[in-house]
């Protein structure tokens, strides 16, 4: 079943207007306070975010990011078990609002080199049953032209549990820095975990801000000053603990997987 809930006016005009626009939300993002639990995201601030919810409970279990108008990037580990995801873009996790659009997944594509034991190439694509109607609340994020660099700040969004305690009612977001790969690699080696070249680490050494259970597959975005737009740097993948000190969150590197993403989806921007 295909269900769409949209504002009543302007749909056709907006569809044409946003056809080739990515990463340019119509609602501004104020500077995020660097506090432990992140902030409740302003409605419409991340119009590319997708929520995968259970068809029987309605509860979200993973996130994703819209690219183009018919494809969602998420984590492969969200889909490698046999599931039938219902894909939603919305602000609140359980309550419906008039800006969300609901789709069934038509096809699932896991990265051919995904390793469920190490989370290497933990990235997947979901083809929607129909094209999304693009507007101020539903807009694709740009795919990267350059790779994210250490010390760059990124914004991570999701409906995951805060410090493994409870799931928030509304979309949450945090702003954190990218961590040098070798620093993170050494830290995880001490825990017996392998950090591969297609992974990005981000967070604070003292902890307190991190993606958590339920955020998997959700967007890590960065702002390009030259393009004046937001692009998808990574997707939430794995970590040890949740917001612990000296234990950074790990994200799949979208730039490292661009060839497969473009070939599979046909999306170029």
Residues identified as active-site = 77, 122, 216
Q: Which of 9, 28, 61 is nearest to 228 (CA)?
A: 28
Alpha helices in 65-191, H assignment, sequence order = 181-189
Q: Which residue has the tokens 């569809």?
A: 15
Structure token digits, residue 77: 């580990």
Helix (H, G, I), strand (E, B) or coil at 138: strand
Whole-angstrom Cα distance, residue 141 to residue 147?
Answer: 15
Spatial distance between the Cα atoms of 191 and 131, rounded to a whole number of angstroms: 43
Long-range contacts of 30-36 (CB under 8 A, 24+ apart): 32/155, 32/173, 32/174, 32/175, 34/175, 34/209, 35/209, 36/208, 36/209, 36/243
Q: Are 38 and 30 in contact (CB under 8 A)?
A: no
Nearest of 69, 62, 87, 42 to residue 215 by alpha carbon: 62
Q: Which two tokens stand for residue 87?
A: 């894909």
Do residues 111 and 163 make contact, with C-beta atoms less than 8 angstroms apart? no
Please state the separation of Cα 36 from the chain's center in Å: 20
Does residue 261 contact residue 54 with C-beta atoms inside 8 Å?
no
């Amino acid at each position: 079943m295909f269900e769409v809930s949209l504002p009543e006016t302007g749909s056709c005009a907006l569809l044409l207007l946003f056809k080739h626009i990515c990463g340019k939300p119509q609602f501004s993002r104020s500077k995020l306070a660097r506090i432990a639990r992140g902030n409740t995201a302003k409605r419409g601030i991340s119009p590319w975010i997708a929520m995968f919810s259970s068809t029987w409970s309605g509860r979200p279990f993973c996130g994703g990011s819209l690219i183009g108008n018919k494809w969602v990037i998420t984590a492969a580990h969200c889909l490698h078990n046999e599931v039938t995801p219902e894909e939603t873009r919305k602000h609140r996790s359980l309550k419906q609002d008039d800006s969300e659009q609901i789709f069934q997944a038509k096809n699932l594509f896991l990265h051919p080199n995904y390793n469920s034991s190490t989370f290497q190439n933990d990235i997947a694509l979901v083809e929607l049953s129909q094209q999304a109607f693009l507007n101020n609340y539903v807009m694709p994020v740009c795919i990267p032209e350059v790779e994210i660099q250490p010390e760059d700040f990124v914004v991570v969004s999701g409906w995951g549990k805060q410090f493994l305690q409870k799931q928030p009612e509304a979309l949450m977001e945090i702003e954190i820095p990218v961590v040098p790969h070798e620093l993170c690699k050494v830290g995880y080696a001490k825990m017996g975990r392998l950090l591969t070249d297609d992974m990005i680490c981000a967070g604070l050494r003292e902890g307190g801000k991190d993606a958590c259970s339920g955020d998997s597959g959700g967007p890590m975005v960065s702002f390009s000053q030259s393009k004046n737009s937001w692009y998808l740097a990574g997707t939430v993948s794995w970590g040890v603990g949740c917001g612990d000190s000296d234990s950074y969150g790990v994200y799949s590197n979208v730039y490292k997987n661009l060839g497969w993403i473009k070939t599979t989806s046909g999306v170029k921007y």
